[in-house]
Structure 1
Amino acid sequence: MPEPAARAEPTVSVVIPVRDDAEYLERCLRALDEQSSPPLEVIVVDNGSSDASAAVARRYGARVVEQHEVGIPIASATGYDAARGDIIARLDSDSRPGPEWVATVQRLFAEHPEADALTGSGLLETDDGETQPVRSRLYLGPYFTLVRWALANRPVFGSAMALRRSTWERVGDDVCRHDPDVHDDMDLSVHLGPDAVVLFDDRLTLPVSARPLQHVPSMLRRGWRGMYTLARHWPREHPLGRHARRLRARRIAARSD
């Protein structure tokens, strides 16, 4: 009996939006250079930087895409539009992926053909490398719990996520790419829909900078942006309506089975 054909692993484009964050970006790109399974490409979207971010990206062989309209949503969407891989993985400039991160993304999508997107979480880390697991759980635990309830589905975490390029092509025209006040990952989660298959795997969780939580005004602004992102899509994407749509999708799937 012939051996079964080896399952081809999907190609991965890594997208990193950046604005004036050359030091952290270099650390992230150095980590990507050490991947056991190198990505097809690394796309750094330079969002109007005045520092050496673009030069750092080119030094590491990344493809630099310029986007002068300032805002994380437009920078992220520009990178996703430019991606050529089967899978679009998203990191932030202060993400620090371990050497198996890309390989894990490939393996999980190959093992789960039903998945539209994958996500991990973040482990907050100070500038001197001290991890803060308790603070991470206190910050990101409520995020996943509350936003999952509001969306009737698991949200993706923008510093450690991936989605199929076909999924992006389905929702890319609908996301709020020109509104700099939305949380781009939460907005993407809204448009994926309550019936999308979004898987969480802790192997995708990685260290991220604790900078956003160092000052109260920054924390308050992040909270306000989260509420604004959700409310911007009401009444169409109100939590009760999304839960009803998810239940209908499950009933239809059950009848089909």
Structure 2
Amino acid sequence: MSAVLSDKPLVSIIVRTRNEERWIGLCLDAIAKQAYTHYEIILVDNRSTDRTVARARDYGVTLVEIDEFLPGKAINDGIRASRGEVIVIISGHCIPVDAFWLGNLVARLDDPEIAGVYGRQEPLSFTSAADKRDLAITFGLDSRIQVKDSFFHNANSALRREVWQRFPFDERVSNIEDRVWGVEVIRAGLKIAYEAGASVYHYHGIHQDRDMLRAQKIVRIMEGLHGPHADMTEIAMGALRVVAIVPVRGPSLQHDGFSLLGNTIDYLRSCQSLAEVVVSTDCADTAALARRHGASVPFIRPAALSEEYVDILQVLTYSLNEVEKSLGLFDLVVVVEETQPFRDPGMIDEMVSVALDNGLDTVLAAKPESRPFWLDGEQGVRQVGKLDFVPRALSEERAHLGLLGLGCVVRPALLREGVLFGAHVGLHMVGHPLASVEIRTGEDLLRCLPLLKADPAGSSQEPA
């Protein structure tokens, strides 16, 4: 258990700065007006190029200069140069709200079970609306003791030196050294206090103006502490209904007892994520073949949807509507065509997981392609995509050949509206060397039959 503080202990205030000329005078002036006067100030400066240090010298600070900024190391360096029994940490652009900020922070450390205390942060008039909202939600008006919650924030915080000696700040992490420290002390059985009466103005809030790169770094650190966040696949897979729709026009290609449609159905029925496999066809013979392989054929689609001018999206929208009438609602739709049969085992299940775990509207099977594409039309022949001869491995941009027939996962709400690709689209890179091969004629089937029968994803003989 931690020791009780002495009466009116010396407080070492650690101020971290880099180019804070605009703010440092206001920060230090507010500190100078505190009712609690037994303190020293340690300025840890990351080689400011403005007049930050010059302004700070007017307040009698002890200067510690650092060349590389890592938040935990900067704080530790400042503490090593200090003498106080209590350590207070404040950012150089934060301004104590009133004269009782310091005394209220220190008072919470009288409880030996409290490892550290952090104070309130308030926005300024020009703070962004999002930051104002986040500060109000995070830093409320009620002080509290945290027994399990490890949140801690070093823009405005305090701890005892003897606690720091047991739990120095992590000097390796690039962000949230305070949250890392909070996890350590909570796991050790200590508590963290939030003191609403020790408030500072903090103009940019705690989320750094929605800096996504910074957010990604923070999430990686937090997941290292607490473990990864739950994947939707884990949460929802048992409760989700996923249907595969296989559109087939006319008779399915067959040869010597081998059925291209049967091969596709057998593959889909092996997928763990699929609740139903539905064949959408205009042909009674194809429907009978599909049923023999265990697929559902709840309707025969109109011949008008098989005209040459009808696109696949119209067929899929009609098919989903009919499927939902007969089989109920589904959470995801998988689109597969028999004409592209070379799929890796588990590919469809992986695509469903990608859609769920990334919150995507659509996931499309795709093959990376770094070679140039050429369009031939009314404007003549012209190159699109990659326009140089940089080696593929060094190319910064890469085109992808979409393989809709190989596999596409889409939200049914989009398909009902006649949309296949929503706002959030993901690509699933296929590994099968024959993934882009299409079989559309009997001659194609004859050529590919030996490969199909040898394919690990399975071959299909027509059921007796």
Q: TM-score range by the shorter chain?
A: 0.7 to 0.9
- Name the counterpart of 1:105: 105
**Which protein shows a greater Rg?**
2
Distance 1:80 1:99 in 2: 24
What amino acid maps onto 2:31 in structure 1? L
Distance 1:163 1:20 in 2: 26
State the structure with bigger RCO (CA 8 A, min sep 6), 1 or 2. Answer: 1
Distance 1:114 1:21 in 2: 35
Residue 61 (1) aligns with residue 57 (2): no
Distance 1:55 1:184 in 2: 28
Distance 1:212 1:74 in 2: 20
- Name the counterpart of 1:196: 190
Residue 163 (1) aligns with residue 170 (2): no
Over the residues paired in the alignment, what is the CA RMSD in angstroms? 2.9
Q: Write the mapping of 1:218-257 to structure 2, written as runs, cut at 5 A.
A: 218=211, 220-233=212-225
CA contact (8 A) 1:48 1:70 kept: no
What amino acid maps onto 1:158 in structure 2? N
Q: Offset of 1:140 from its aligned partner?
A: 6.2
Secondary structure at the residue paired with 2:87?
strand
Secondary structure at the residue paired with 2:95?
coil
Q: Offset of 1:23 from its aligned partner?
A: 1.6
Q: Write the mapping of 1:1-257 to structure 2, written as runs, cut at 5 A.
A: 8-97=7-96, 98-110=98-110, 112-126=111-125, 135-139=131-135, 141=137, 152-172=148-168, 175-179=169-173, 181-194=174-187, 195-210=189-204, 215-216=209-210, 218=211, 220-233=212-225
What amino acid maps onto 2:200 in structure 1? L
Distance 1:138 1:14 in 2: 26
Secondary structure at the residue paired with 2:171?
coil
CA contact (8 A) 2:11 2:87 kept: yes
Secondary structure at the residue paired with 1:121?
strand
What amino acid maps onto 1:18 in structure 2? T
What amino acid maps onto 1:224 in structure 2? Q
CA contact (8 A) 2:113 2:190 kept: no
Secondary structure at the residue paired with 2:8?
coil
CA contact (8 A) 1:14 1:39 kept: no
Alpha carbons of structure 1 residues 115 and 34: separation in structure 2 relative to 1, 3 Å: same
The TM-score with structure 2 as length reference comes to: 0.42
Distance 1:81 1:117 in 2: 18
Distance 1:233 1:10 in 2: 33
The one-character-per-residue Cα deviations of 1:117-158 (angstroms, maximum 9, x if unpaired) are 11123112245xx797x85343563699xxxxxx93342111
Q: Offset of 1:184 from its aligned partner?
A: 2.1
Structure richer in helix, relative to its length: 1
Give percent identity, aligned residues only: 21
Q: Offset of 1:53 from its aligned partner?
A: 1.5
The one-character-per-residue Cα deviations of 1:157-216 (angstroms, maximum 9, x if unpaired) are 1111101111100011xx43133x222222221232332211111101321112776844
CA contact (8 A) 1:47 1:71 kept: no
Query: Structure 1, unaligned stretches of length 5 or more?
Result: 1-6, 145-150, 240-257
Distance 2:72 2:88 in 1: 15
CA contact (8 A) 1:22 1:53 kept: yes
What amino acid maps onto 1:161 in structure 2? S
Alpha carbons of structure 1 residues 85 and 190: separation in structure 2 relative to 1, 3 Å: same
CA contact (8 A) 2:121 2:135 kept: no
The TM-score with structure 1 as length reference comes to: 0.73
Q: Offset of 1:83 from its aligned partner?
A: 2.4
CA contact (8 A) 2:119 2:197 kept: yes
Alpha carbons of structure 1 residues 83 and 192: separation in structure 2 relative to 1, 3 Å: farther
Distance 2:198 2:44 in 1: 22
CA contact (8 A) 2:24 2:55 kept: yes
Query: Structure 2, unaligned stretches of length 5 or more?
Result: 1-5, 141-146, 230-464
Alpha carbons of structure 1 residues 74 and 138: separation in structure 2 relative to 1, 3 Å: same
Q: Offset of 1:107 from its aligned partner?
A: 2.4
CA contact (8 A) 1:122 1:136 kept: no
Alpha carbons of structure 1 residues 39 and 14: separation in structure 2 relative to 1, 3 Å: farther
Structure richer in strand, relative to its length: 2
What amino acid maps onto 1:201 in structure 2? E
Distance 1:42 1:8 in 2: 20
Distance 2:164 2:139 in 1: 23
Secondary structure at the residue paired with 2:64?
strand
Distance 2:70 2:208 in 1: 21
The one-character-per-residue Cα deviations of 1:207-231 (angstroms, maximum 9, x if unpaired) are 1112776844x2x234223212212
What amino acid maps onto 1:78 in structure 2? D
CA contact (8 A) 1:183 1:225 kept: no
Secondary structure at the residue paired with 2:117?
strand
